[in-house]
């Protein structure tokens, strides 16, 4: 297993990849062993960097975002009088801005919960037997990264919940340089792929080097429904189960990542 750094001025590609065998001229960008350079999609698993691809490079990384999710008042509502039928509980929705991203586009993002894993869509974060449940769904707008909070009560109040989040916002890769590869130590510049990738920005990668503040990223589903209700298993294994869930969902594989 040998990795190489190579570029091909004829195609404009620059790449870091594992050699595709040992056949061919090592210095020929079109030789079999260097095929990942100019055909990275076919050789995806050998690729560590290619100018054709996009990378999650950090625009902002904000920790310690303290949110108090509001209580959902209990409710008993008479919906019919002959006979009297009473519906217990209600649904309360609110939108919570976590962070203003300050970018002129809707960026990619990750919302990390207090347990060390990403908060997936419609994740349960509170289940109180006999009382209710709360789930949150991250989203992006042109200005903010936010959470849709949906609390469902019973005849009793679903209590407020204090949580702390981390939001990582990623820069959209843009080819804004004339140089395929630009290394200028005096100016502190290290760019590849015509500026799409910048060496001065942290990026999402596997956490293998005792990185600070790693978090778990799910590689499959984080929720399941059965018995008319749901279970959430976050990427870090934290589990929230609605009362009366009848399934056996135990979570999906995940991978520990960091932004370094």
Partner 1 sequence: MSFFEYTEDGHVIAEHAGRRAIDTQVPMLNLVPGAAITLTGYSISWPDLWKGTLYYQTRQTVETVPGVFADYFGCSTWAGLVEQEWGPAEAAPNNLPDIAIGTVPAGTDYLEVWVTLTRTVNPANILDLALASNFPEGLPVKLDGHSCVVEEFGGVARQFEFVLSGTSVLLRRYQSVNALGGIVQPGFLRNNPSGAAGNAEFFYPGTNAPVDGSKYATHGQRIQQLGPDKDIPTHRPPGKEWGSSNNVPCSMDMTGISYASTWTGDIIIKPGFIDAP
Cα(6)–Cα(27) distance, rounded to whole angstroms? 9
Q: Cβ neighbours of residue 146 under 8 Å, at least 6 residues apart?
A: 95, 96, 97, 98, 138, 139, 140
CB of 251 to partner 1, least distance (A): 10
| Nearest CB to partner 1, comparing residues 24 and 139 | 139
CA 80 to chain centre: 45
Burial of 106 (0-12, 13-18, 19+ CB in 10 A): middle
CB of 38 to partner 1, least distance (A): 13
Instruction: Look at strands 47-50 and 84-88 and give their pairing.
Output: unpaired
Instruction: Report the DSSP beta bridge partners of residue 126.
Output: 134
- DSSP secondary structure letter of residue 22: S
CB of 258 to partner 1, least distance (A): 9
| Nearest CB to partner 1, comparing residues 31 and 90 | 90
| Nearest CB to partner 1, comparing residues 64 and 93 | 93
| Nearest CB to partner 1, comparing residues 71 and 148 | 148
CB of 97 to partner 1, least distance (A): 12
């Amino acid at each position: 297993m040998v990795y190489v750094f190579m570029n091909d001025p004829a195609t404009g590609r620059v790449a870091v990849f594992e050699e595709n065998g040992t056949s061919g001229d090592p210095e020929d960008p079109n030789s079999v062993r260097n095929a990942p350079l100019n055909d990275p999609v076919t050789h995806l698993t050998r690729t560590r960097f290619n100018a054709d691809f996009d990378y999650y490079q950090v625009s902002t990384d904000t920790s310690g975002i303290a949110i108090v999710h509001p209580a959902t008042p209990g409710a008993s509502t008479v919906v019919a009088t002959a006979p009297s039928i009473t519906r217990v509980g209600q649904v309360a929705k609110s939108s919570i801005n976590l962070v203003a991203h300050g970018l002129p586009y809707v960026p990619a993002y990750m919302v990390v919960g207090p347990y060390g894993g990403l908060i997936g869509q419609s994740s349960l974060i509170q289940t109180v037997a006999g009382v209710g449940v709360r789930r949150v769904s991250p989203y992006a707008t042109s200005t903010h990264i936010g959470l849709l909070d949906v609390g469902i009560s019973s005849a009793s109040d679903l209590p407020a919940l204090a949580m702390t989040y981390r939001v990582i916002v990623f820069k959209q890769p843009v080819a804004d340089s004339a140089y395929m590869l630009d290394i200028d130590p005096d100016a502190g510049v290290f760019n590849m792929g015509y500026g799409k990738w910048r060496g001065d920005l942290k990026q999402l990668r596997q956490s293998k080097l005792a990185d600070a503040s790693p978090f778990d990223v799910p590689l499959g589903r984080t929720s399941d429904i059965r018995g008319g209700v749901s279970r959430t298993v976050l990427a870090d294994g934290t589990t929230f189960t609605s009362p009366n869930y009848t399934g056996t969902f135990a979570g999906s594989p995940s991978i520990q990542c960091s932004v370094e």
